Amino acid sequence: MTGQRPLLAVTGLKATYSHSITALEGVDLSLAPGEILAILGGNGAGKTTTLKAVSNLLPAERGQVTAGDVHYEGQTTLTRSPADLVRAGLVQVLEGRHCFKSLSVEENLVAGGLGRGSGRSEIAEDLEKVYTWFPRLKQKRRTASGLTSGGEQQMTAIGRALMSRPRLLILDEPSMGLAPIVVQDIFRALRRLNAEEGLSILVAEQNSAIALAYADRAVILENGRTVLEGTARDLRTRGDVRAFYLGQKAAPAIVAAQ
């Protein structure tokens, strides 16, 4: 990390649901402008809760932040409405590739631009850009989203988020339920968006192997806490991370080298 101010900083975050179920017990992470940061961890580790806290979406789920803070561009997000955060460039693609199934792919995309208050020419320009990132969406532009494949629906959900011109794009498990080749396509497009447009990306993934292949850095959550943080390159080669999170046996030589 450089010495510049982080775009996003989560510090000592604790959260509950219904004032009784503890979900987060101390999450810390920091994302520099232009970075791709992955949040890794198994089922129930707290990835989704962290992302929802960042976008101040927890209250809608009877969730409460009980300690800590989230700063986006130096300002807390916890007192701002999710819509205000979207206008400020903090845009989230929720888990489960939400699309309006009866609308066409293009209508779904246009809906993303309207939320931001874009005019006609801006929307046309942004649509062309989304079609450059995801050419499959151009072929399917007139098809009802509900009739497109899971991968195309995920691309539509990401494309809709891009239509609101994010500075920080947040994605919750974009790989979920998709074939490996489609997952590769999606992560490749995200990497290109990052490299060519400078888009900062925060992505939660159970699929650590793919996330570590494309992210710059990662944090690992366990039981609602940050337990490990490092560059993707370092984490990829660490024996314990390989064994626990990549589903690979740690090579004894690597473990011994720790």
Q: Which is nearer to ligand ATP, 60 or 256 (CB)?
A: 60
User: For every residue of the chain, which 3-state class applies, written as one string?
Assistant: CCCCCCCEEEEEEEEEECCCEEEEEEEEEEECCCCEEEEECCCCCCHHHHHHHHCCCHHHHCEEEEEEEEEECCEECCCCCHHHHHHCCEEEECCCCCCCCCCEHHHHHHHHHHHCCCCHHHHHHHHHHHHHHCHHHHHCCCCEHHHCCHHHHHHHHHHHHHCCCCCEEEEECCCCCCCHHHHHHHHHHHHHHHHHHCCEEEEEECCHHHHHHHCCEEEEEECCEEEEEEEHHHHHHCHHHHHHHCCCCCCHHHHHHC
User: Do you know the residue count of the chain?
Assistant: 258
Question: Considering only 28-36, 44-52, 97-105, 226-234, which stretch makes contact with ligand ATP by CB under 6 A?
Answer: 44-52
Strands 168-172 and 200-205: parallel
- Position among 8, 27, 29, 46 found at the interface with ligand ATP (CB under 6 A): 46
The answer to whether 47 and 41 have CB atoms below 8 angstroms apart is: yes
Q: Please, what is the Cα angle at 34 between 31 and 36, to 5 degrees?
A: 60
Q: Closest approach of Cβ 15 to ligand ATP, in Å?
A: 8
Site string for ligand ATP, 50-79 (x = CB under 6 A): -----------x------------------
Q: Closest approach of Cβ 19 to ligand ATP, in Å?
A: 11
244 near ligand ATP, rule: CB under 6 A = no
Q: Closest approach of Cβ 1 to ligand ATP, in Å?
A: 24
44 near ligand ATP, rule: CB under 6 A = yes
Question: Considering only 4-12, 39-47, 115-123, 179-187, which stretch makes contact with ligand ATP by CB under 6 A?
Answer: 39-47
Site string for ligand ATP, 196-235 (x = CB under 6 A): ----------x-----------------------------
Q: Closest approach of Cβ 171 to ligand ATP, in Å?
A: 12
Q: Closest approach of Cβ 221 to ligand ATP, in Å?
A: 6
What residues from 96 to 135 belong to the interface with ligand ATP (CB under 6 A)?
Answer: none
Q: Which is nearer to ligand ATP, 19 or 142 (CB)?
A: 19
45 near ligand ATP, rule: CB under 6 A = yes
By CB under 6 A, name the binding residues for ligand ATP: 17, 21, 23, 41, 43-49, 61, 206
